Chains A and B, each alone.
Chain A
Amino acid sequence: MASAEPTSTAEESIPRRAFLAAAVGAASSLALPGCDRDGASGGGVTLRFWNMFSGPDGRTMLGLVRKFNAQHPDVNVVMQRMHWSTYYNKLFVAGLGGRAPEVFITHRYALRRFVGAGFVRKADDLFGPRADQLDPSDFDPNILNAMQQGGTYWGVPLDVHPLGMYYNRTLLKSVGFVDNSGAAKPPTTRGEFLDVLHRLKPKPGASSRDTTWGFVYTWQRTNLYAILRQFGGQLFNSTLTRATFAAPQNVQALAWGSDLVRQGLVPGPQSADSWVMFMQGHVGIAFEGIYVLPDVRKQAGLDWGAAPLPLLGSQRATWGESHSLVMRNDLDGRQLDAAKRFIKFLSDNSLDWAEGGQVPVRQSLRDTDRFRAMYAQNQFAKQIPYVAYLPPAPYVFEYLRAFDDAIELALRGTKSAQAALQAADQIVQPVIDRYARQDLWRDVMGGAQ
């Protein structure tokens, strides 16, 4: 087995300088794509703007940044996009190290965490009657109030992206779920919703290619949170100091959602890639955010419609989130002025942003013909008055993990809804207690949801 093959010296003849030059070039090119540098250079104010818009929405935002830079030659906004799964880690570490960008995006649920960490600037002076300010009365009150804490605005809501209902017109028509004109009718009540589920229930012996479902859970967190809030549930008490996951309304909601799986009306998480099934035309109804709109539009052969969520519980509610425009807390002088102009520009132009699958939060923008022509955004916007944000607790990432686990355990039938939610309580309450014990953000804890 030992070879008499002579040792090759080919490796030694690699032109090292050429290799190093290529490596340095490659490394440089790899380092650059995250940054989108546009606009003026030299002399002007530079603003770093971080966000998590790594999909088509990133291109839309980049277009807005370019437009701003062109209109404001004294400011150079440098936008950096990151994938949302690691965005908050990077942003937080940068902030703690004193290197936070001048302007950045956070979801509303994470805003309080950043405020508590002390690197968010108050945004009160962005609102007011002057031409260079934003008129607070133009914003939806519940959306704008969600940016408040302790009577202070900490960010400007750029949009709201509620969960809504997408439905497959072809499938609903095929099972006779139509209105008087014969068009597919989106269900509006629990009874109608269950009717669709029964009509589209998979037929025994059907091959996987012919299988249909009335409904699938897409993002379990948002789907179940919407149902839970419709049943009157809350994850915490009003001061965010006690976990109430196992409250009767929450248990009732999760049990109802899990029973749909047990009854064979909805596929379990292990059985399907649910959103793909909807896109492939195998599912009648799916609850998803307005942000999937670009994908739905692109799907050839899918005749789809959009509508608010049906009333499944005792009150109207749907999950929603907002991208908030936030400034670093130590801005002053020209940087502060530039940051304010940039934020106002983005808010004023949020109809452009809405085109890519968002809902503007300014009534004046929604009252335009341009917005009325946006079919899905219009349908989803009907839910704004009862949008339910996830509680913005400082321990948000800890409790979301426990919430996700509880939902998954219940939907898969590994635990009952009661047991799964009790387990979540037992995980989250010590976290809350730890935050309280260590005085972690004593000013932040105790704020209203």
Chain B
Amino acid sequence: MTLGTGAPTTARNPQPLPPRVTPADDVSPCRARADFTGYLFLAPYLLLFGVFLLLPLVYGLWLSFMQYEMLSPDPPTFIGLANYREAFADQRFWTALWATLRFVGMTSPLTILLALALALAISTIPDRRQHVYRLMVFLPMMITITVAGLVWRWLYNTEFGLLNAILDNFGFKAPWLTDRDWAMPSIVLMTLWWTVGGPLVILLAGIRQIPDAYYEAGALDGATGWRGTIYITLPMLKPVLLLAVVLNVIGAFQVFGQPFIMTQGGPERSTLVLMMYIYETSFNNYRLGYGAAMSWLLFLLIAAFSVIQFRLMREK
């Protein structure tokens, strides 16, 4: 048996279709009113999108070509690509970018894999008991990063942290946040706990959308157990998985709260991610032009990664 495209094939007793009306044909007052109502519904979002996203984005692009020092009494002056050139020559920019890439490289695959494993496991549990597990995994996401970061900073404390109190019984103490080799993995571990609920919920919803008929058909061909997962669930889940991966990678590139709260970018700047460096440049040193240029570089990087991910997943 071969699997179809998954498109619904339930049309029985087909009825004669009404005459097709294109939007161009329909110029009645009712249609215009309907359009207007539609735009009214859209208006609040469009307003917020325009004022808080589009406008700052364009303003940020303009700023990135300016020398804008908030400390200076002089007005912003156009300096072309100088801010971008400065970023490429700035060792700290590259250090921060490397820290960001390390975070993304560790966090995103682990989060997606863990979320997928948990989603597959939870989906095998009867529906009435799934809520409990979903809640357990999703609950940390409802905690603000400030609270979560502070709690984990205490857990990781070298002297009185819970984790080292346990390890101390085995004669060992881990420098969770105080050693440059440990700090980033420790932040990644905390991030896993904090964020895995997001992709989990998306993936669970995706799994629930896969019609039972496929599994029933697959079972006849012997695709049960892990074979069902590999040959039916994962292929059918691909669009949802792509969404989860892209969202996760975008979020990971913008990491700020965890290192800001837990390490302040240390030790030895090993966790000073790009968003933190942009923040430091813009709001500690008040160099808005240079900060905007680095923000745009990060934006382009995220866009490039997202496009690549979409392409790769679609091709396969």
Binding site for B on A (CB under 8 A): 1-3, 5, 89, 92-93, 96, 113, 116-118, 207-209, 269-273, 276-277, 280, 394, 397-398, 401, 405, 408-409, 412, 414, 427, 438-441
B178 near A276 with CB under 8 A, answer: no
Cβ–Cβ < 8 Å partners of B284 in chain A: 89, 397-398, 401
Q: How far is the CA of A414 from the CA of B179 in the complex (A)?
A: 12
Within B60-76, the residues touching A (CB, 8 Å) are: 67, 69-74
Q: Is B171 an interface residue (CB 8 A)?
A: yes
Q: Is B85 an interface residue (CB 8 A)?
A: no
A1 in complex: contacting residue of B72, B73, B92, B233, CB < 8 Å: B233
| In the complex with contacts A440-B69, A441-B71, A2-B159 CB distance below 8 A | no
B210 in complex: contacting residue of A1, A269, A439, CB < 8 Å: A1
Cβ–Cβ < 8 Å partners of A89 in chain B: 283-284
A118 near B73 with CB under 8 A, answer: yes
B157 in complex: contacting residue of A208, A209, A270, A273, CB < 8 Å: A273
B215 in complex: contacting residue of A1, A270, A427, CB < 8 Å: A1
Q: Is B37 an interface residue (CB 8 A)?
A: no
Closest to A209 in B: B168
Q: How far is the CA of A440 from the CA of B180 in the complex (A)?
A: 36
Once A and B bind, how many residue pairs between them come within 8 Å at the CB atom? 84
B73 near A438 with CB under 8 A, answer: no
B175 in complex: contacting residue of A209, A270, A397, A440, CB < 8 Å: A270
Q: Is B254 an interface residue (CB 8 A)?
A: no
Cβ–Cβ < 8 Å partners of B209 in chain A: 2
Q: Is B269 an interface residue (CB 8 A)?
A: yes
Q: Is B186 an interface residue (CB 8 A)?
A: no
Q: How far is the CA of A178 from the CA of B103 in the complex (A)?
A: 51
Closest to B236 in A: A1
Q: Is B224 an interface residue (CB 8 A)?
A: no
A2 near B212 with CB under 8 A, answer: yes
| In the complex with contacts A1-B207, A1-B208, A276-B268 CB distance below 8 A | no
Say whether chain B's binding surface is mostly helix, strand, loop, or mixed: loop
**Listed A/B pairs (10) with beta-carbon separation below 8 Å:** A2-B209, A92-B70, A209-B168, A270-B267, A273-B159, A280-B160, A401-B280, A412-B180, A414-B180, A440-B69
A438 near B69 with CB under 8 A, answer: yes
Cβ–Cβ < 8 Å partners of A272 in chain B: 158-159, 178
Cβ–Cβ < 8 Å partners of A277 in chain B: 159
Q: Is B299 an interface residue (CB 8 A)?
A: no
Closest to A113 in B: B71
Q: Is B173 an interface residue (CB 8 A)?
A: yes
Q: How far is the CB of B182 from chain A (nearest CB, A)?
A: 8
Q: How far is the CA of A398 from the CA of B268 in the complex (A)?
A: 16
B72 near A276 with CB under 8 A, answer: no
A3 in complex: contacting residue of B127, B160, B180, CB < 8 Å: B127
Q: How far is the CA of A271 from the CA of B179 in the complex (A)?
A: 8
B71 near A269 with CB under 8 A, answer: no
B283 near A280 with CB under 8 A, answer: no
B266 near A408 with CB under 8 A, answer: yes
Q: How far is the CA of A397 from the CA of B281 in the complex (A)?
A: 10
A116 near B71 with CB under 8 A, answer: yes
Q: How far is the CA of A92 from the CA of B70 in the complex (A)?
A: 10
Cβ–Cβ < 8 Å partners of B173 in chain A: 208
Q: Is B193 an interface residue (CB 8 A)?
A: no
Within B264-315, the residues touching A (CB, 8 Å) are: 266-269, 280, 283-286
B72 in complex: contacting residue of A93, A207, A438, CB < 8 Å: A438
Q: How far is the CB of B88 from chain A (nearest CB, A)?
A: 15
Cβ–Cβ < 8 Å partners of A408 in chain B: 266-268
Q: Which 3 A-B pairs have the closest CB atoms?
A: A270-B179, A273-B159, A276-B159
Cβ–Cβ < 8 Å partners of A92 in chain B: 70, 286
Q: How far is the CB of A397 from chain B (nearest CB, A)?
A: 5
Closest to A277 in B: B159
Cβ–Cβ < 8 Å partners of B171 in chain A: 207-208
| In the complex with contacts A89-B283, A92-B286, A271-B72 CB distance below 8 A | no
| In the complex with contacts A89-B284, A438-B74, A440-B69, A1-B212 CB distance below 8 A | yes
Q: Is B44 an interface residue (CB 8 A)?
A: no
Q: How far is the CA of A208 from the CA of B174 in the complex (A)?
A: 12
B158 near A3 with CB under 8 A, answer: no
Cβ–Cβ < 8 Å partners of A440 in chain B: 69, 71-72
Cβ–Cβ < 8 Å partners of A118 in chain B: 73
Closest to B269 in A: A405
Closest to B171 in A: A207
Closest to B128 in A: A5
B71 in complex: contacting residue of A208, A394, A401, A427, CB < 8 Å: A394
B207 near A270 with CB under 8 A, answer: no
Cβ–Cβ < 8 Å partners of A113 in chain B: 71
Within B208-247, the residues touching A (CB, 8 Å) are: 208-212, 215, 233
| In the complex with contacts A1-B207, A409-B268, A273-B158 CB distance below 8 A | yes
Q: How far is the CB of A218 from chain B (nearest CB, A)?
A: 13
Cβ–Cβ < 8 Å partners of A280 in chain B: 159-160
Q: How far is the CA of A3 from the CA of B211 in the complex (A)?
A: 9
Q: How far is the CA of A277 from the CA of B233 in the complex (A)?
A: 53
Cβ–Cβ < 8 Å partners of B285 in chain A: 397-398
Cβ–Cβ < 8 Å partners of B280 in chain A: 401
Identify 4 new A-B residue pairs, CB closer than 8 A, beyond the known A271-B175, A273-B158.
A1-B215, A117-B71, A273-B160, A405-B268
| In the complex with contacts A3-B127, A409-B268, A270-B71 CB distance below 8 A | no
Q: How far is the CA of A427 from the CA of B178 in the complex (A)?
A: 24
Q: How far is the CA of A2 from the CA of B206 in the complex (A)?
A: 9
Q: How far is the CA of A405 from the CA of B268 in the complex (A)?
A: 6
Closest to B71 in A: A440
B71 near A276 with CB under 8 A, answer: no
Cβ–Cβ < 8 Å partners of A117 in chain B: 71
Q: How far is the CA of A113 from the CA of B173 in the complex (A)?
A: 43
Cβ–Cβ < 8 Å partners of B208 in chain A: 1-3
Cβ–Cβ < 8 Å partners of B67 in chain A: 438
Q: How far is the CA of A89 from the CA of B209 in the complex (A)?
A: 48
Q: How far is the CA of A269 from the CA of B168 in the complex (A)?
A: 19
Binary per-residue interface labels of chain B (141-168) against chain A in the complex, 1 for a CB within 8 Å, 0 otherwise: 0000000000000000111100000001
Which of B159, B160, B171, B179 has most chain A Cβ within 10 Å?
B159
| In the complex with contacts A272-B159, A401-B280, A1-B267 CB distance below 8 A | no
B123 near A1 with CB under 8 A, answer: yes
Cβ–Cβ < 8 Å partners of A441 in chain B: 71
Q: How far is the CA of A270 from the CA of B178 in the complex (A)?
A: 4
Q: How far is the CA of A277 from the CA of B159 in the complex (A)?
A: 7
Q: How far is the CA of A276 from the CA of B173 in the complex (A)?
A: 15
Q: How far is the CA of A361 from the CA of B226 in the complex (A)?
A: 75
